[in-house]
Structure 1
Amino acid sequence: MTENDNDDQEGLFKEAMMDVQPLKKANRSAELKKPATKVPESTLRARRQAAQMEDKPGGAALSEAWVEPIEPEQKLVYSRSGIQHTRMRQLRQGLLPIQYQLDLHGYRIEEARELISEFLLFCRNEGMQCVRIIHGKSHRSTNRQNTLKSHVNHWLRQLPEVLAFCSAPPSEGGTGSLLVLLKRKA
């Protein structure tokens, strides 16, 4: 092949690719696994009661005690003792596949507490291990004590089915969401 042939090939290629547009980045949330069927409310109630009785001394609900205020951009990291450093690194870097997510935007604190309990119980019963909870950053809140982010941080530390959680990498929601690692279903 001569240099003239290479120039012809390159010119043909450029001409053929002139109208090509790059693909848009896919929305990862659309790829998340959805539950196959809706679980009846009576079943959810029974599961919640059973989980409270077996996992919590005296069946206590999530604490209403004072909650440590969290700044909107503060990164959160928590893990129970015994979690491998490699597993935590994978969680922090967003390397574990997110199997389901809960978006708490627009919910009041009381509603969010109930939703989180139901969500995590459902996910664990379905055998999911890594989920995302989107709590937002509460930039517009003047009283940091009452932010959803602060409460979610407080509640997740109380739940025995939560092994670890951390703020998501920027591509997965950043400090406005948490990646949560759940215990395997027994």
Structure 2
Amino acid sequence: MSDTHSFEDLLKAEDNAPIVPVKTVKADVGTAPVDREALVRARRLAEKGNDLDFGGFSTQEPPMIAADALLEWTREGFGRLKTQFDRDRFNPDYRLDLHGRTVEQSAMEVHRMLERARRYRWQRLQIVHGIGRRSAEGKPLLKSYVNRWLREVDDIIAFASARKRDGGHGAVNVLTRGAVSDRWPEV
């Protein structure tokens, strides 16, 4: 055989079998699971409009915090936990990045994260809120909201701005009730 034959010619000459194109095979992956919580939230949004409960968090503007201000808060009776933020590198069980989200979206995301933290008994969380460089007013809106929201949640016992290598002023490290007790209230 010469070198001018095509690959098809060579295969035909091999066993005289016709060459049939391969049909595209699609896997049956079933239907996507329905997120019941998202469905309920969407229904409430359609029915009530702006009167939604954003996970219990207020979406009215809080007092603004400076972009370079350090956040630090400890629930009464848990003062000794401040040392956990200063010791080793903070390795969160879960990290939430709020960049590019609205206040309402952020409230829902923080609420969902805290529900999961309770369900899975996460002890260490990190929320990246940014410092407001890209916000319309150039203010750290999400930083101010997150500061207020975290103080309202009983399962949060302490939080502090992250070290520079972990996100600095644009992130907050959070300790939940699971850091001091594995006996959380039932979900």
TM-score w.r.t. length of structure 1: 0.63
Measure the CA separation in 2 of the matches of 1:98 and 1:88. 16
Unaligned runs of 5+ in 1: 1-38, 47-59
Distance 1:144 1:89 in 2: 33
The structure 2 residue matched to 1:157, chosen from 151, 154, 170, is: 151
2:77 to 59, 64, 82: 82
Are 1:166 and 2:160 an aligned pair? yes
In the TM superposition, residue 147 of structure 1 has moved relative to its aligned partner by 1.0
CA contact (8 A) 2:132 2:141 kept: yes
1:68 aligns with 2:63: yes
2:125 to 123, 128, 131: 131
When Rg is computed on C-alpha atoms for both structures, the one with the higher figure is 2
Once the two structures are superposed, residues 122-174 of structure 1 have per-residue CA deviations (whole angstroms, 9 ceiling, x without a partner) of 02210110110000011344646671111111111111111111000011100
User: Equivalents in 2 of 1:94, 1:104: separation in Å?
Assistant: 25
Whole-angstrom CA distance in 2 between matches of 1:156 and 1:91: 16
Which structure shows the bigger proportion of residues in helix conformation? 1
The match for 1:14 is none
Deviation at 1:93, TM superposition (A): 4.6
Range with greater deviation from structure 2 (170-179 or 93-102): 93-102
Residue correspondence of structure 1 range 39-78 to structure 2 within 5 A: 41-42=35-36, 61-78=56-73
Q: Give the letter for the 1:135 counterpart.
A: H
**Where do 4+ consecutive residues of structure 1 move more than 6 Å?**
43-46
| Among 170, 173, 176, the residue aligned to 1:176 | 170
1:13 matched residue in structure 2: none
Q: Could you say if the C-alpha distance between residues 82 and 40 of structure 1 is closer, same or farther in structure 2, counting changes exceeding 3 Å?
A: farther
C-alpha spacing 1:151/1:144, structure 2 compared with 1 (3 Å): farther
- The percent identity for this pair of structures is 28
1:63 Cα offset (Å): 2.4
| Contact 1:162–1:180 under 8 Å retained in 2 | yes
Q: Are the counterparts in 2 of residues 163 and 181 from structure 1 also a CA contact under 8 Å?
A: yes
Aligned to 1:108: 102
Q: Distance in 2 between matches of 1:40 and 1:82?
A: 42
Question: Compared with structure 1, are the counterparts of its residues 73 and 40 closer, same or farther at alpha carbon in structure 2 (3 Å cutoff)?
Answer: farther
Kept in 2, the 8 Å contact 1:92–1:167? The answer is no
Shift of 1:95: 4.2
SS of equivalent residue, structure 1 residue 106? coil
Count of residues in Structure 1 that have an aligned counterpart in Structure 2: 134
Measured after TM superposition, the shift of residue 94 of structure 1 is 5.2
